[in-house]
Amino acid sequence: MIALIVVLVIVALAVIYLIAAYNGLIRRRNQIENAWSQIDVQLKRRLDLIPNLVETVKGYAAHEQATLERVIQARNAAIAAPDTPHAQAEADNQLTGALKSIFALGEAYPDLKANQNFLQLQEELTATEGRVAYARQFYNDSVLGYNNKLEQFPTMLFAKAMNFQRREYFEADEAARTAPTVQF
Amino acid sequence: MFELIRSNKRRSAALIAGFVVLAVLIGLAAGYVSGFGPAGMIVAFVIAAVMAFVSYWKSDKIALAVSRAHRADPQQYRRLYNLVEGLCIAGGLPQPAVYIIDDPAPNAFATGRNPNHAAIAVTTGLLEKLNRVELEGVIAHELSHIKNYDILVSTLAVTLVGAVALITDMAIRTMWWNGGRVRRQGDRGGGHPLFAVIGLVLLIVAPLIARAMQAAVSRKRESLADVSACQLTRYPPGLISALEKLKADTTVTHSASTATAHLWIEQPMSGVGDRGKFGSLHRMFNTHPPLDERIALLKEL
């Protein structure tokens, strides 16, 4: 009689544990999906800020057509780039380089530098670069948490059976590792 | 860094567990000495718990009102909002309310019962004196407090301190009324007077011990917040530089009080009496680890 109760209790505990572990993995996997789309949200935000920046600069530094053209082209390229990590990283690099050139213009044109709009846009773009970086960081942290949970004992025993796979980190592409250049 | 965080969390859990055990022991001892028994201890815990948890539930409103903070205008404090938003993305936290305190001393605090009802406040002095990466480090520290549920932890600690204070107070009063005799049901000859004296001394000292333990828990959580902040920013030099600037700045934060002292990033009533003959006694009750120690810890990351 006692033995039966003990067995039942053990089975109940095991079932509760299984449910909790499964839910934990689901939660973490969904967090990874969320984190991935966050990155895209921030990247899009950066792209949306650029036309405004170009207009503001045109008002003060109209002769700098070359630099402005570069930025517009880099933006269009970034929007049109195919979804492979390598192409995205290349486009990203081009855009960052072009943006740096525009901000460097502020040094040559003191009126531009004093313009509130320009300063605000500079702040917004800097902050957005930060947000993109943080979004990628959060994605990687989410993947770490999920992989840890997945591969630890005893969850790993049944994880494969429930169709949970290990996830990959977001890695800086080779193109992204070379620092973007500022051209005058 | 992850290992540091995990060991810190383990240690603070052990500290709190030890604190609970201590409180229970004091309660039992007080019950024995005063003849109240466990009933008194339970009453004391209930009172202290109710008081502490009401203040925990409303902690964001209370702390902000006491410090005379006002909501930060998003347009005026664009950079501050941007930094908070970036770090919330990094930590997967919802955005807290952002408040400003008009005070030339650089300081900041975080409050709120859980990440969904949180608020952080910074002084105008902080915004003026720190640059972008330093400010980011400080905000990361505050957000880490929210993320690690430190408000809950310190409420637990305060509950235990309050319970201990109530228990010992009740016990001493009862003994006083009894004329110092221990009375229990079926008592034959009364206890040895030495036990009564030892018990009395312990009862007087117990609240102090409890406060010291609360301060120890607070110090542990502060250094956990420092390391968690670096996990958010992945850039220790930012927070290190901010702490060094805070160390060099000696302005006293007027908007703080002893009640809210544990919430701020840097001890508002800085280090009075930390050196000298009773220095170690003072240091036991500090709610924050000394800045030198915090900087040294971060430099090792």
pLDDT of residue B144: 93
Instruction: Please report where in the chains the tokens 């941007």 appear, as a residue.
Output: B82
Q: Count Cα neighbours of A171 within 13 Å in the Cβ-side half-sphere.
A: 6
Gap from B238 CA to chain A (nearest CA, Å): 14
Q: Answer whether A175's CB lies under 8 Å from A90's CB.
A: yes
- Whether B92 and A120 lie within 8 Å, measured CB to CB: no
Q: Are A32 and A139 contacting, i.e. CB atoms less than 8 angstroms apart?
A: yes
Q: Which residue ranges in chain B fall short of pLDDT 50?
A: 185-189, 271-274
**pLDDT recorded at residue A180:** 65
Cβ atoms of B291 and B246 within 8 Å: the answer is yes
Q: Quick check: pTM over 0.95?
A: no
Interface membership of B131 toward A (CB under 8 Å): no
Find the mean pLDDT for residues A38-55. 87
> Is B78 part of the contact surface with chain A (CB cutoff 8 Å)?
yes
- Residue with the bigger pLDDT between A134 and A59: it is A134
| CB-CB under 8 Å, B234 with A127 | no
The continuous run of DSSP H or E covering B119 comes out as strand B119-123
**Interface contact A17, partner B, CB < 8 A:** no
Distances (CA, A) of B123 to B150, B229, B255, B271: 21, 19, 9, 20
Q: What is the pLDDT of residues A154-165, one digit of tens each?
A: 888 887 778 888
- A127 contact residues in B (CB cutoff 8 A): 79, 82-83, 85-86
Alpha-helical regions (H) of chain A? 2-60, 65-80, 85-108, 110-114, 116-151, 155-159, 174-177
Which among A138, A131, A139, A134 is positioned nearest to A42, based on CA atoms?
Answer: A131
Q: What is the mean pLDDT of residues A11-24?
A: 91
Identify which of B283, B286, B284 has the alpha carbon closest to the alpha carbon of residue B266: B286
Q: Which of A97-101, A107-111, B293-297 has the highest mean pLDDT?
A: B293-297
Q: What angle do CA A146, A150, A152 make, to 5 degrees?
A: 120
Distance CA B272, CA B217 (A): 21
Q: Nearest by CB to A138, which of B78, B79, B92?
A: B92
CB B87, CB B139: distance < 8 Å: yes
Residue B235: per-residue pLDDT? 92
Q: Where are the domains of chain A?
A: 34-177
Domain coordinates in residue numbering, chain B = 2-299
Contact call for B79 and A127, based on CB within 8 A: yes
Nearest-CB residue to B234 (from A35, A42, A137): A137
The whole-angstrom separation of Cα B55 and Cα A155 is 39
Task: State the pLDDT at residue B186.
Answer: 44
Catalytic residue among B142, B244, B266, B300: B142
Task: Work out the number of other CB atoms within 10 angstroms of the CB of residue B174.
Answer: 18
Q: What is the largest CA-CA distance in chain A?
A: 93
Dist CA B7 CA B241 (whole Å): 25
Rounded to 5°, the CA angle B249-B253-B259 comes to: 135
| Spatial distance between the Cα atoms of A99 and B247, rounded to a whole number of angstroms | 37
Pick the residue from chain B with its C-alpha nearest to A121. Answer: B78
Tell me whether A120 touches chain B (CB under 8 Å).
yes
Q: How far is CA B82 from CA A43, A160, B98, B178, B257, in A?
A: 15, 41, 11, 64, 30
Question: Can you give the pLDDT at residue B189?
Answer: 47
Kindly list the residues from chain B whose CB atom is less than 8 angstroms away from the CB atom of residue A31. 92
Per the listing, tokens 């070359």 go with: A66
Q: Judge contact between B165 and B69, C-beta under 8 A.
A: no
> Can B142 be counted among the known catalytic residues?
yes
What b/e readout covers A9-43, taking b as 16+ CB neighbours within 10 angstroms?
eeeeeeeeeeeebeeebeebbebbeebbebbeebb
Q: What are phi and psi of A50, to 5 degrees?
A: -70, -45
| B239, B140 Cβ separation under 8 angstroms | yes
Would you state the pLDDT for residue A91? 83
Place of tokens 């005893």: A154
**Chain B residues with CB inside 8 Å of A38's CB?**
89
CA distance A138 to chain B (A): 5
Asked if A127 lies within 8 A of B83 by C-beta distance, the reply is yes
The encoded tokens of residue A91 equal 């486009």
Q: What is the pLDDT of residues B239-273, one digit of tens each?
A: 999 999 888 886 666 666 555 555 677 666 554 44
* Minimum CA–CA partner of B85 in chain A: A131
pLDDT in tens, B116-158: 989 999 999 999 999 999 999 999 999 999 999 888 888 778 7
B contact test, residue of A31, A137, A139, A143 with most B CBs within 10 A: A137
| B41 SS3 class | helix
For B87, the closest of A31, A134, A141 (CB atoms) is: A134
Reduced to 3 states (helix: H, G, I; strand: E, B; else coil), residue A183 is coil
Q: Do A130 and B86 touch (CB under 8 A)?
A: yes
Q: How many angstroms from the chain centroid is the CA of residue A70?
A: 24
pLDDT value at residue A179: 66
Which of B139, B129, B87 shows the shortest CA–CA distance to B108?
Answer: B139
Q: Tens of pLDDT along A119-149? A: 888 888 889 889 989 999 999 999 999 999 8
Encode pLDDT of A72-85 as tens digits: 888 888 888 877 77
Q: What is the largest CA-CA distance in chain B?
A: 77
A34-177 under CATH 1.20.1440.20, yes or no:
yes
Which residue's entry shows tokens 């109530």?
A: B166
For A137, the closest of B82, B83, B90 (CB atoms) is B90
CB < 8 Å from A in window 221-240 of B: 234
Which two three-digit tokens encode residue B61? 């409103």
Smallest Cα distance from A35 to chain B, Å: 9
Which pLDDT value is given to residue A11?
A: 94
Q: Is B271 on the interface with A (CB under 8 A)?
A: no
Interface touch B92/A131, C-beta < 8 Å: no
User: B106: which residues sit within 8 A by CB, 6+ positions away?
Assistant: B123, B125, B126, B128, B129, B130, B245, B246, B249, B251, B266
Residue labelled with tokens 């051209």: A183
CB within 8 Å: B89 and A31: no
User: Which of A41, A131, A143 to probe by mutation at the B interface, max B CB count within 10 Å?
Assistant: A131
On whether the CB atoms of residues A170 and A92 are closer than 8 A, the answer is no
Mutate to test the interface with B, among A34, A138, A140, A142 (most CBs of B within 10 A): A138
Q: Residues B273, B282: contact at Cβ < 8 Å?
A: yes
- Any chain B CB within 8 A of the CB of A138? yes
Q: Touching check for A129 and chain B: CB below 8 Å?
A: no
